[in-house]
Chain A
Amino acid sequence: MKKSFRFYLALWGAKIGTLLLKIFRRNATFFPGKFALKVCPDFIGRIQKPKTMIAVTGTNGKTTVCNMIEDVLKDNKYDFIDNKYGSNIDAGVATTLISGVSFMGKSKKDLAILEVDERSAPKIYPYLTPTYLVCTNLFRDSLMRNAHTEFISGILTKYIPKDTILILNGDDLIVSNLAPENKRMYFGIDRLDTDTEECENISRDIIACPKCDTKLVYDYVRYNHIGKAHCPKCDFKSPEIDYLATKLDLENMKMTLKIGEREEEYDLISDNIINIYNIISVITVLKQLGLSKEQINESLKKLKIVDTRYTEETVNGVKIITHLAKGINPIACSRVFDYTRKYKGNKAVFLIVDDLHEAVKGSENTSWQYDTDYEFLNDESIKQIIIAGARYLDGLVRLEMAGVNKEKIVYERDELSALDKLKLEGIDTVFILHDLYSMELKDAAKNKVEVMIKNLDKKEK
């Protein structure tokens, strides 16, 4: 696409706007792009872009994957643009591209790392061809925005540019069938001892063969539709994995990655299966950019999952773990509930998963709670569940529907007051499971639990 007068008007306006926003110390991560798109709707198509563009999409993990790619690249002195601090919709992507060009529109960087919201595909991919597109997974997400996985995978297949090379989660049968004409490579994890033959989750979104409609046979299930399956009638089956994690050693936090006939050992920075998938996707991307195993592993070792997603701390022998459990996102919450129940020792769980963003509109559509495996919280090792926030009564009913004994549940409107009822006796770990929009509340809750543990210790002494 040629650069029109309109394009330059949009670019210069956005550049001046960025400067003004910075002078007034305002966030310039969205509005410059929004302005540019308003003035020139096909702005993303007209702006000069870096030679290599990595896009990352998927229901869960795209922010974590982008953060890790960026941190490793930075550690290895790569220069690039990214939307780390911006939004992942068209305006955020436009803002990032604007930051990567000169006032005359000439590209200053050779590499871009872009997190792209999957629902925004129709507004981005007609104008931008990523060199590589990573898709981490596709699950049920906000039903108000994303409806269902068939809708999202449909728009991705329709809009992903034909020349983009796909880096796909091969253990996700929905993801592995995206844009079937495109060149691709798969990452995945070999069969684990914890895999099962039956799905214990509420939802599994690929039941029938996409080719012939016959019911698929799952060789094993990891969670939801993640696993390995084949069609008993035609040749449809899970793909062969190009970057396959084998020998997961969670005790020593190591894994082996099988790439063709070659095997490489990597350190793990998380024992959560979701993050292990994220790490493998990161390694696969970085390999395409030409980084060596040593470069990747040395940098990966230094990383940690960002504090907004996961923290852990031990106070007088009691561990406090905060874990993001994105409200309205059933699978993200289910994975965290599964992680919580399987975590060693006795646990108390503080649940603040209301979507405050939705609550502002007056009331939250809580249907997602019934796509979420609250049943995982019905576990002998979870001694107490405190549920609080605007939807505390709905949360109570959902927990009761999951079979949790009401005597184990504390339910109150006010989040911090509810915490007063936390019983620490015999508890090894307190889990604070919180929504994306509850960061301040999460921090306040964590501080309060710390004080409660310290006070308990004083009393005991």
Chain B
Amino acid sequence: MKMEILFPEFCNLFGDIFNMKYLKMCIPEAELIETALDEVPTFVNEDVNLIYLGPMTENTQEKVIKKLLPYKERIEELIEKNVVFLFTGNALEVLGKYIENEDGSKINGLGIFDVYSKRDMMHRHNSLMVGKFEDIEIVGFKSQFTMMYGDNTNSYFLEVEKGIGLNKESKLEGIKKNNFIGTYVIGPILILNPLFTKKIMKMLGQEKEVALKDDVMAAYEARLEELKKL
């Protein structure tokens, strides 16, 4: 099994990289491929089982878009082929139509999803979140300069119970298409959500328990209870 982390030397904000370290702990036999920004991604020429992209700075977003644009069709093909993707934080914006700056200028994205985002660099949004994914509840944090717009009614990741969805008016969070999951939730989402990690593992054909099961479950249950009281 191959799990590819795209550009970890840049796309590593907010501790998100530990999602992959944790997944590797859960599936020790998996091969973790770290692809640098100046390398050709492994998924271009080989089949991989999971592709991960974490949050990045605004300048890095432009570099990543430039880097991935030649592989747009390959990414679309892999999404159709049910390869597991996990894009966290503003990584999702890279695959949207465009990112709009405060002055109205636009940075074109890959345009794989029919959504766009707007930056407001002097007003950072922070919130805590509880949302439903299939039959499980997911807890998490949001911290972002952007809001995303577009219709995700038929392609959302979470139905939000507490917090916001794609934007402050939305209750539908992120994008899910086949096994592609893109979410604005940042931080160690897999460590915080062992039930979700188990689902990801199932998507990867791994029917086993998560690492540190009892302790991550205790932390998850405590946080879920705490957030529900808010």
Contact = CB atoms under 8 A, between A and B. Distances in A.
Interface of A: 122, 140, 143-145, 147-148, 150-151, 202-203, 207-208, 213, 215, 362-363, 365-371, 393-394, 396-397, 400-401, 406
B143 A207 contact: no
B124 A147 contact: yes
Contacts of A401: 18, 21-22, 25, 191, 212
Contacts of A143: 13-14, 143, 186
Contacts of B12: 203
Contacts of A202: 15, 17
Contacts, number: 92
Contacts of A369: 15, 188
B215 A396 contact: yes
Contact of A397 (B16, B124, B143, B191): B191
Contacts of B21: 401
Contact of A145 (B10, B25, B124, B227): B124
Interface in B23-75: 25, 36, 38, 57-59, 63
Nearest to B144: A147
A232 to B, nearest CB: 12
A371 B14 contact: yes
B9 interface: yes
Contact of B122 (A122, A366, A367): A122
A393 B222 contact: yes
B176 interface: no
A376 to B, nearest CB: 16
B128 A367 contact: no
Interface of B: 9-10, 12-18, 21-22, 25, 36, 38, 57-59, 63, 121-122, 124, 126, 128, 141, 143, 145, 186-188, 191, 212, 215-216, 218-219, 222-223, 226-227, 229-230
A207 B14 contact: no
Interface centre among B13, B57, B141 (most CB of A within 10 A): B13
B57 A368 contact: no
A139 to B, nearest CB: 13
Sort A-B residue pairs by CB-CB distance and give the 7 closest, nearest first.
Answer: A370-B15, A367-B187, A393-B219, A365-B141, A150-B57, A370-B18, A144-B126
11 contacts: A143-B143, A144-B126, A151-B58, A363-B223, A367-B14, A367-B186, A370-B16, A371-B14, A393-B215, A400-B212, A400-B215
Contacts of A406: 215
A202 B20 CA distance: 14
B15 A368 contact: yes
A122 to B, nearest CB: 7
Contacts of A151: 57-58, 121
Contacts of A365: 126, 128, 141, 143, 187
Nearest to A367: B187
Contacts of A400: 212, 215
Contacts of A150: 57-59
A50 to B, nearest CB: 29
B39 to A, nearest CB: 11
Contact of A370 (B25, B59, B143, B187): B187
A103 B58 CA distance: 47
A397 B128 CA distance: 20
Contacts of B229: 362
B215 A367 contact: no
Contacts of A140: 13
Contact of A207 (B10, B16, B191): B10
Contacts of B18: 370, 401
Nearest to B125: A144
A122 B123 CA distance: 13
A202 B13 CA distance: 10
Given A147-B145, A400-B215, A366 B187 contact: yes
A369 B16 CA distance: 11
A366 B126 CA distance: 13
Interface centre among B145, B216, B219 (most CB of A within 10 A): B219
A362 B215 contact: no
B15 A363 contact: no
Nearest to A368: B15
Nearest to B141: A365
A207 B9 CA distance: 7
B97 to A, nearest CB: 24
A333 to B, nearest CB: 12
B21 to A, nearest CB: 7
B44 to A, nearest CB: 20
Contacts of B124: 144-145, 147
Given A215-B38, A393-B222, A363 B128 contact: yes
Given A145-B124, A368-B15, A369-B15, A393 B218 contact: yes
A34 B122 CA distance: 20
